[in-house]
Amino acid sequence: KLQCGDGSDGQINVADTGEFSFSDKPTLDDIRKVQHEFCKERNWDQFHTPRNILLAMVGEVGEVSELFQWRGEVKEGLPDWSEKDKKHLAQELSDVLIYLVRLSERCHIDLPAAALEKIEMNKKKYPAHVVYGSSKKYSEYDLKE
Amino acid sequence: KLQCGDGSDGQINVADTGEFSFSDKPTLDDIRKVQHEFCKERNWDQFHTPRNILLAMVGEVGEVSELFQWRGEVKEGLPDWSEKDKKHLAQELSDVLIYLVRLSERCHIDLPAAALEKIEMNKKKYPAHVVYGSSKKYSEYDLKE
Ligand SMILES: Cc1cn([C@H]2C[C@H](O)[C@@H](COP(=O)(O)O)O2)c(=O)nc1N
Ligand SMILES: Cc1cn([C@H]2C[C@H](O)[C@@H](COP(=O)(O)O)O2)c(=O)nc1N
């Protein structure tokens, strides 16, 4: 099912350098389940309508933004951040993910499957040989969908 | 590692009803890897600084919001939405996830592990017997962190 390097853009993929990676677990469905239980145990499903969750997610994205404001650009891996700020960022990114997963669940959207499909669409939309090293907007390339 | 129903809130969890669930695959790390390859093949890492990705994510959250605007509240599972709108929503939620995963990677934050840890914190912050059926703000409960 995973189609990393399926040749749709004519590139041969090498294995990941393994410099940084996520834990294999929990999966997105594990997170969905744990959050589902969390809400059920609190009888909070009644508040978790799609638009309520969307607004909660927007709020959390704002909290992530706050952590990046006024800093100028930051370096990969955040070498100049305190442990406290990194921990705080991990928590705010988590809040975004938790609400994103919950919103997808309430909308009956299979988020992991959809994301993989979207990346496959992106590969076709942005063929490597055309966009290599360029940050033009899609509409500036001479491409057709 | 998964601590669904670890008793920290004194509730006994029952198995999920299985009404709706996500695909087991891809995992968050699978998505990270595929997106990592996608960027490498296009020499786009240079544009994927944390704040650039954050702004891209904010843009995608805006696109999700657009799909919900003017509709009033929507029902679980989006029974009144067209297939086209549902598909579109799946794509925009995916874009948010893709940038969230990419941002976490660039910041060296183990997103799946952090999310699970955050839900455990939420369980402690909002004990089920105190918050059951209530949507008060945290600051309105008589709780201590
Ligand atoms: C108040 C509330 C919280 N959370 C969970 C999801 C977030 O990860 C975290 C946010 O809590 P707070 O609003 O206190 O930051 O808690 C939730 O799912 N539903 C809620 N109605
Ligand atoms: C332009 C661009 C796109 N994408 C990927 C991630 C999103 O899923 C999708 C967004 O594309 P667009 O901006 O065309 O909507 O493509 C990306 O990773 N990096 C980029 N510099």
Which of 22-61 (B) contact A at CB < 8 A?
Answer: 22-38, 41-44, 46-47, 49-51, 54, 57-58, 61
pLDDT in tens, chain B (145 residues): 333 333 334 333 444 455 899 999 999 999 999 999 999 999 999 999 999 999 999 999 999 999 999 999 999 999 999 999 999 999 999 999 999 999 999 999 999 999 999 999 999 999 999 999 998 877 787 765 5
CA of B122 to the centre of ligand 1 (A): 7
CA of A145 to the centre of ligand 2 (A): 14
A10-25 per-position pLDDT tens digit: 333 444 455 899 999 9
Average pLDDT of the residues of chain A: 88
Whether residue B13 contacts residue B119, with contact meaning beta carbons closer than 8 Å, is answered with no
Return the half-sphere exposure (C-beta side, CA atoms, 13 A cut-off) of residue A33.
20
The reply to whether ligand 1 has any atom less than 6 angstroms from the CB of A95 is yes
- pLDDT band at A139; cut points 50, 70, 90: confident
Token output for A36: 């589902």
B6-30 per-position pLDDT tens digit: 333 433 344 445 589 999 999 999 9
Write the CB contacts of B69 (distance below 8 Å, at least 6 apart in sequence).
none
Query: Across residues A92-100, what is the average pLDDT?
Result: 98
CA pair distance B33, A22, nearest whole angstrom:
9
pLDDT at B19: 85
The angle subtended at Cα A101 by Cα B138 and Cα B66, nearest 5°, is 90
CA pair distance B61, A62, nearest whole angstrom:
11
- Cβ separation of A98 and B115 shorter than 8 Å? yes
Which of B8, B97, B136 has the highest number of chain A CBs within 10 A, making it the mutation to test binding with A? B97
pLDDT at A141: 78
CA pair distance B57, B64, nearest whole angstrom:
11
- pLDDT band at A140; cut points 50, 70, 90: confident
- Cβ separation of B93 and A108 shorter than 8 Å? no
The reply to whether ligand 2 has any atom less than 6 angstroms from the CB of A136 is no
3-state class of A92 per DSSP? helix
- pLDDT exceeds cutoff 80 at A49: yes
Rounded percentage of chain A residues whose pLDDT exceeds 70: 86
User: What's at B57, amino acid-wise?
Assistant: M
The reply to whether ligand 2 has any atom less than 6 angstroms from the CB of A71 is no
- Interchain contact B7–A (C-beta under 8 A): no
* B29 neighbourhood in chain A, CB within 8 Å: 21-24
How distant is the Cα of B97 from the closest Cα of chain A, in angstroms?
A: 7
The angle subtended at Cα B121 by Cα B119 and Cα B126, nearest 5°, is 95
pLDDT at B136: 82
pLDDT at B137: 77
The reply to whether ligand 1 has any atom less than 6 angstroms from the CB of B132 is no
Query: Across residues A113-131, what is the average pLDDT?
Result: 97
Q: Nearest ligand, CA of residue B93?
A: 2
